[in-house]
């Protein structure tokens, strides 16, 4: 997958400059810009093909061959007269003809009539590809056909890219040219994964484009159709086609063997990258058009770019058409400040992934979940907590990189995480965790089932069904269904007790006392009456029945106060750029007089926080292990102190009680979520039960919790509970720095990440979904 490959920075840089050049309209130097755009397109293509011989134009053919082989004789060994006098002229003719067509026919191509012809052309190409693959597969010549297509595929890329270059030449249709450039880049990004797959899987891009063009036509027909029955039939066709493909690849073996136990051979299909995400993204478009909440786009290229948009294609966020399509209709300007913040977000995501998530996976999580019997209860608990941190850091890291990559290009993607483990109840957790999925399930599944409009009992049932189907969306196994059921029943019970405690002032105390008595009685029954040889699953179910009501009413009562810290506005801070000594003639002694003490103290605390963080990184490499945890505590403490000073003593004292009560609720919710994570992470349902058995083994020795494990957990928790104001302070201060300082910090960050990286590559967790 190109996203988790070291080539991704090269890909992003090449796409960025390709996109920037497509925005330039000056006639001067146009041929040079066109040649540079072709070269950048060749670089993007080379990241997929990996072979200079696959290039059909002399621009990339010469430059990239020399860059690949240097000055060695290998650069010239494979050159031939056919390449120079046949391949390169054909490639130049293809790109030149496409550029000419884009310039001359730009007005027509931008019109609805031209877009209809483009859509038909895409259908024709996909039909030819499908027929060719089917015939080749039947005649056992698929590898030969694939090799021929791979050898000539660059011609198609040159033609489409040349069309985009030609369109970008004139002001009237430059926007469409830029969209074509993004379409080419996003298509190659997805094909980089498919090209490495065996057999027919190498044509998954064609399958994805087929579903895209089908939804494109269905949305237009739904909008134009006046009959309610016909509109409903068309949206059902969209649902069946999209979910049918998802079912075939993801659930065929599970249903035929684990559910129905049919005597058929397992297919062992490879799950296409990001299929769950782009399926939901495309479905939301046709459903919104059906609900008349969105107008169908007439441009197949815009719609395809919306679905294929490379930053979020593989693992989200799941972007709604109403969020991204307007940005494609009116392309946002490239802003240096937004791009700078995007780069900072990418670095933060890489730090979460490389330094924290992968470390947790390798030092404790994978070992515990692979062989739980080899670890004590304390070590297994550390592994479960470690996985809770790993999946958050890993998935939020992908979202950070995706959102940052889009920001570099000027686009805005929705937030996907808001520190979910700070949640004081399960409802709040799902408002903070994987926000794009939870809102999708709410708007397109929960509301469709009836939501809360059909009475309390139906509301609870709808919550349970929504979360069970959400668990099944993640994977085809009973463990995922149990994960979804735990969240569904937990949400239903939480909602019930929230309503009950809100009726009158004394209801919370009575319910709390009653649920506590139920928990004590259940615990007594389970320890004295229920036989010891009862299965782990039934013990878990019984414990859930008598403990969950106490947990739900406690979180409903303790967590009823909102999180105050997240309502604080971003402090302005000290205008360091204006007070920069090299730019100002103000004596250093008078600098303090120009800022208030209220701003100076938090600023100095955060500068100390950054210094402590740097010292911690040095300590990891050169100092004794006993220094690591204290440095983590000092860094986190300085960040927290800065936020508290900004809040002020009056505000802090007023909310101290609610902070303590909310903290208890957060602890309870976190542990319930960790219970569900056991089923999410375990290889099977039985493996999850083995983890639970080991948690109750009563073994408390911990020889495997070495300082590296403790430090990784401490840094993971500190990162998650890191003070919001301090994180935003770092982002804003980075944006204020001059370009040379930003470049230096980015280079330093790259070196640090290289040192903190691991030899074993740990793929992003959500790539499997």
Asked if 471 and 441 count as a contact pair (C-beta separation under 8 A), the reply is no
| Structure-block tokens of residue 725 | 């104001």
Decide: helix, strand or coil at residue 77: helix
Asked if 473 and 253 count as a contact pair (C-beta separation under 8 A), the reply is no
Compute CA distances 350 → 119, 400, 406, whole Å.
38, 8, 15
Pairwise CA distance, residues 232 & 247, whole Å: 21
Angle between helices 685-695 and 536-558 (to 10 degrees): 70
Neighbours of 463 (CB within 10 A): 26
Pairwise CA distance, residues 694 & 383, whole Å: 12
Pairwise CA distance, residues 741 & 580, whole Å: 13
Handedness of CA 542, 545, 550, 556 (dihedral sign): positive
| Structure-block tokens of residue 230 | 């016909």
Pairwise CA distance, residues 735 & 730, whole Å: 9
Pairwise CA distance, residues 652 & 664, whole Å: 18
How far out from the chain centre does Cα 116 lie?
A: 33
Catalytic site residue from 278, 434, 474, 720: 474
With vertex at residue 14, the alpha carbon angle to CA 11 and CA 15, rounded to the nearest 5 degrees, is: 85
Pairwise CA distance, residues 168 & 150, whole Å: 28
Asked if 719 and 636 count as a contact pair (C-beta separation under 8 A), the reply is no
Can 474 be counted among the known catalytic residues? Answer: yes
Decide: helix, strand or coil at residue 392: helix
Asked if omega into 317 is within 30° of 0 (cis), the reply is: yes
Asked if 342 and 404 count as a contact pair (C-beta separation under 8 A), the reply is yes
Pairwise CA distance, residues 359 & 482, whole Å: 28
In the numeric block, the tokens 């020795």 are attached to 701
Query: What do you get for the CA distance between the two ends of the chain, in Å?
Result: 14
Catalytic machinery residues: 474
């Amino acid at each position: 997958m190109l996203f988790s490959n070291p080539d991704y920075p090269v890909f992003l840089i090449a796409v960025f400059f390709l996109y920037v050049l497509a925005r330039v309209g000056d006639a001067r130097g146009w041929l040079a810009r066109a040649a540079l755009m072709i070269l950048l397109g060749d670089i993007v293509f080379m990241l997929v093909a990996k072979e200079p011989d696959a290039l059909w134009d002399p621009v990339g053919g010469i430059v990239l061959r020399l860059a690949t082989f240097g000055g060695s004789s290998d650069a010239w060994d494979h050159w031939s007269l056919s390449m120079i006098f046949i391949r390169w002229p054909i490639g130049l003719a293809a790109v030149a003809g496409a550029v000419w067509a884009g310039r001359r026919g730009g007005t027509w191509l931008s019109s609805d009539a031209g877009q209809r012809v483009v859509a038909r052309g895409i259908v024709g190409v996909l039909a030819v590809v499908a027929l060719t693959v089917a015939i080749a597969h039947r005649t056992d010549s698929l590898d030969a056909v694939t090799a021929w297509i791979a050898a000539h595929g660059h011609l198609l890329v040159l033609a489409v890219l040349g069309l985009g270059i030609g369109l970008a030449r004139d002001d009237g249709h430059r926007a469409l040219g830029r969209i074509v450039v993004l379409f080419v880049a996003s298509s190659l990004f997805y094909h980089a994964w498919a090209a490495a797959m065996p057999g027919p899987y190498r044509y998954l891009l064609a399958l994805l484009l087929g579903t895209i063009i089908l939804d494109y036509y269905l949305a237009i027909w739904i909008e134009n159709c006046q009959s309610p029955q016909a509109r409903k039939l068309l949206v059902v066709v969209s649902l069946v086609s999209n979910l049918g493909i998802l079912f075939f690849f993801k659930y065929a073996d599970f249903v035929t063997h684990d559910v129905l136990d049919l005597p058929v051979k397992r297919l062992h299909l490879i799950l296409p990258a990001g299929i769950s995400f782009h399926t939901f993204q495309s479905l939301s478009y046709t459903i919104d058009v059906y609900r008349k909440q969105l107008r169908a786009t007439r441009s197949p290229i815009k719609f395809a770019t919306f679905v294929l948009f490379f930053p979020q294609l593989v693992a989200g966020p799941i972007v709604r058409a109403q969020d991204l399509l307007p940005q494609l209709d009116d392309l946002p300007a490239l802003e240096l400040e937004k791009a700078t913040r995007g780069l900072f977000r990418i670095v933060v995501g890489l730090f979460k992934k490389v330094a924290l998530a992968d470390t947790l996976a390798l030092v404790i999580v994978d070992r515990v979940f692979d062989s739980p019997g080899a670890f004590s209860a304390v070590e297994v608990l550390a592994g479960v907590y470690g996985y809770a941190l790993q999946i958050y850091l890993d998935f939020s890291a992908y979202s950070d990189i995706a959102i940052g990559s889009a920001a570099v290009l000027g686009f805005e993607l929705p937030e996907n995480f808001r520190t979910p483990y700070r949640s004081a109840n399960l409802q709040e957790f799902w408002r903070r965790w994987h926000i794009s999925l939870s809102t999708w399930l709410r708007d397109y599944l929960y509301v469709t089932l009836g939501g809360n409009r059909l009475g309390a009992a139906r509301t609870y049932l709808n919550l349970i069904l929504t979360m069970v189907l959400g668990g099944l969306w993640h994977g085809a196994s009973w463990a995922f269904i149990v994960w979804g059921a735990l969240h569904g029943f937990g949400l239903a019970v939480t909602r019930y007790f929230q309503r009950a405690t809100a009726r009158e002032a004394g209801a919370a105390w009575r319910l709390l006392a009653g649920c506590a008595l139920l928990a004590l009685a259940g615990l007594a029954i389970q320890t004295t009456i229920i036989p010891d040889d009862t299965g782990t699953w039934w013990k878990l179910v019984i414990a859930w029945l008598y403990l969950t009501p106490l947990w739900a009413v406690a979180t409903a009562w303790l967590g009823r106060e909102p999180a105050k810290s997240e309502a604080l506005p971003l402090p302005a801070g000290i205008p360091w750029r204006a007070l920069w000594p090299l730019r100002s003639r103000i004596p250093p002694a008078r600098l303090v007089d120009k800022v208030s003490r209220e701003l100076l103290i938090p600023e100095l605390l955060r500068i100390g926080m950054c210094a402590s963080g740097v010292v911690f990184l040095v300590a990891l490499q050169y100092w004794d292990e006993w220094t690591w945890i204290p440095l983590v505590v000092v860094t986190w403490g300085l960040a927290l102190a800065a936020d508290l000073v900004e809040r002020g003593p009056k505000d802090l004292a007023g909310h101290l009680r609610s902070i303590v009560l909310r903290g208890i609720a957060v602890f309870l919710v976190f542990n319930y979520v960790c219970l569900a994570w056991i089923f999410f992470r375990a290889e099977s349902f039985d493996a999850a039960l083995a983890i639970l058995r080991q948690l109750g083994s009563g073994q408390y020795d911990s020889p495997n919790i070495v300082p590296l494990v403790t430090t990784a957990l401490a840094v993971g928790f500190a990162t998650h509970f890191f003070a919001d104001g301090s994180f935003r302070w770092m982002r804003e201060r980075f944006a204020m720095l001059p370009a040379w300082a930003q470049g230096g910090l980015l280079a330093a960050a790259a070196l640090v990440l290289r040192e903190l990286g691991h030899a074993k590559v740990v793929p992003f967790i959500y790539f499997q979904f």
